[in-house]
């Protein structure tokens, strides 16, 4: 695509001017005397018609005739889209209040400020100036490590409830990261100043967080099937050996991410095919045993997700400020 260009014109002794494209002026309904905002980004100068950082968006969600699952989706969607006030209205508020409150409480910095028999108002108190996407990813990593440790003991200890609740914590952090990404794509100059991240970096971090959140989901599912699978002690040890290989792959990929070590990432990804083969052999030997197939398929899925995160590290890399 060919870039447009304008000639730089000297204006007096200390100023320079350029003309603006008429199509852009018309599209943004600008007129003589309107303020144009600019922001420096490395060698670029970004022009805009204003700033959205202080804009407080509001949304109203009708609840009548909707399932709890749909309301959860709409509330979470509004949260990710950075609405500062979320109002739910309807005659069914009273019967759905508990589920609505639980959904709101699971979203960071969102609080119920008003509640009646026909209305619930939630306000957001998140300050983007005090949020670090890298710190949130570190917190997700810490929780996922704990989930993996508990999962590894599932043949001997029933840790499923702990794993289940930790998965909710991972979800809360991932929703917040998705929200930062949504905000960052609309306020690229702000995010570049704060994190030195451009829009491409932000999308890659979204994909990284998405894969981490899905890894947590798979750990939860593996734990559920481990609790139900009827395997001999020998086959349990065999599966745990495979699980350990996947666990070590996850730990090394995250280490490579935090330390920006692309070479370590490549070493981890070289092990993938061999682990997949061992998983398939385990399945062939245990396919008649209930839940063993589901268990090993989820382990393979977890390994593929680890591979996805590793690909992001070696293909793109990040510089944490």
Assigned token pair, 280: 């398939």
Q: Which residues pair with 41 in a beta bridge?
A: 44
Query: Phi/psi at 304 (nearest 5 deg)?
Result: -65, -35
Instruction: Give residue 29's pLDDT.
Output: 83
CA 213 to CA 170: how far, in whole Å?
A: 6
Instruction: Give residue 303's pLDDT.
Output: 98
In the chain the beta strands, taken as DSSP E runs, fall at 9-11, 15-17, 37-41, 44-48, 57-62, 83-89, 110-115, 119-124
Instruction: Give residue 187's pLDDT.
Output: 81
CA 41 to CA 51: how far, in whole Å?
A: 16
Query: Please, are residues 237 and 294 in contact by the beta-carbon 8 Å criterion?
Result: no
Instruction: Give residue 195's pLDDT.
Output: 78
Instruction: Give residue 249's pLDDT.
Output: 98
Instruction: Give residue 39's pLDDT.
Output: 73
Instruction: Give residue 28's pLDDT.
Output: 78
Instruction: Give residue 58's pLDDT.
Output: 96
pTM for the full model? 0.85
Mean pLDDT by 10 residues, the chain (321 residues): 78 84 83 81 72 74 98 98 96 97 96 97 93 94 98 96 97 96 85 82 94 98 97 97 98 94 93 96 95 97 97 76 48
Query: Please, are residues 184 and 191 in contact by the beta-carbon 8 Å criterion?
Result: yes
Instruction: Give residue 158's pLDDT.
Output: 95
For residue 144, the surrounding DSSP H or E stretch is: helix 133-152
Evaluate whether the domain defined by 129-315 bears CATH number 1.20.58.220.
yes
Contacts of 268 (CB under 8 A, 6+ apart): 249, 252, 253, 256, 306, 310
Domain residues of the chain, as ranges?
A: 9-48, 57-124, 129-315
For residue 278, the surrounding DSSP H or E stretch is: helix 272-286
Which CATH topology does 57-124 take? Translation Initiation Factor IF3 (3.30.110)
């Amino acid at each position: 695509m060919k870039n447009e260009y304008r000639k730089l014109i000297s204006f007096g002794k200390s100023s320079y001017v350029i003309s603006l494209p008429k199509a852009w002026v018309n599209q943004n309904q600008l007129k003589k005397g309107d303020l144009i905002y600019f922001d420096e980004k490395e060698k670029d100068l970004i022009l805009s018609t204003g700033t959205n950082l202080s804009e407080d968006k509001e949304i109203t969600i009708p609840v009548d005739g909707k399932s709890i699952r749909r309301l959860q989706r709409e509330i979470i969607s509004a949260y990710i889209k950075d609405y500062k006030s979320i109002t739910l209205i309807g005659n069914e508020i009273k019967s759905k209040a508990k589920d609505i409150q639980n959904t709101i409480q699971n979203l960071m910095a969102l609080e119920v400020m008003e509640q009646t028999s026909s209305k619930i108002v939630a306000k957001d108190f998140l300050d983007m100036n005090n949020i670090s996407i890298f710190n949130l990813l570190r917190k997700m990593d810490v929780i996922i490590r704990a989930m993996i440790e508990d999962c590894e003991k599932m043949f001997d200890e029933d840790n499923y409830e702990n794993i289940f609740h930790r998965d909710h914590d991972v979800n809360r952090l991932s929703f917040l990261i998705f929200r930062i990404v949504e905000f960052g794509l609309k306020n690229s100059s702000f995010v570049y100043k704060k994190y030195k991240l451009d829009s491409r970096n932000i999308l890659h971090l979204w994909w990284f967080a998405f894969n981490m959140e899905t890894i947590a989901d798979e750990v939860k599912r593996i734990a559920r099937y481990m609790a139900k699978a009827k395997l001999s002690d020998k086959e349990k040890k065999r599966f745990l050996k495979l699980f350990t290989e996947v666990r070590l792959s996850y730990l090394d990929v995250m280490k490579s991410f935090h330390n920006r070590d692309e070479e370590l990432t490549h070493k981890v990804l070289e092990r993938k095919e061999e682990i997949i083969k061992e998983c398939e052999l385990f399945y062939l030997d245990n396919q008649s045993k209930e839940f063993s197939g589901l268990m090993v398929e989820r382990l393979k899925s977890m390994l593929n997700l680890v591979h996805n995160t590793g690909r992001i590290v070696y293909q793109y890399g990040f510089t944490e400020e």
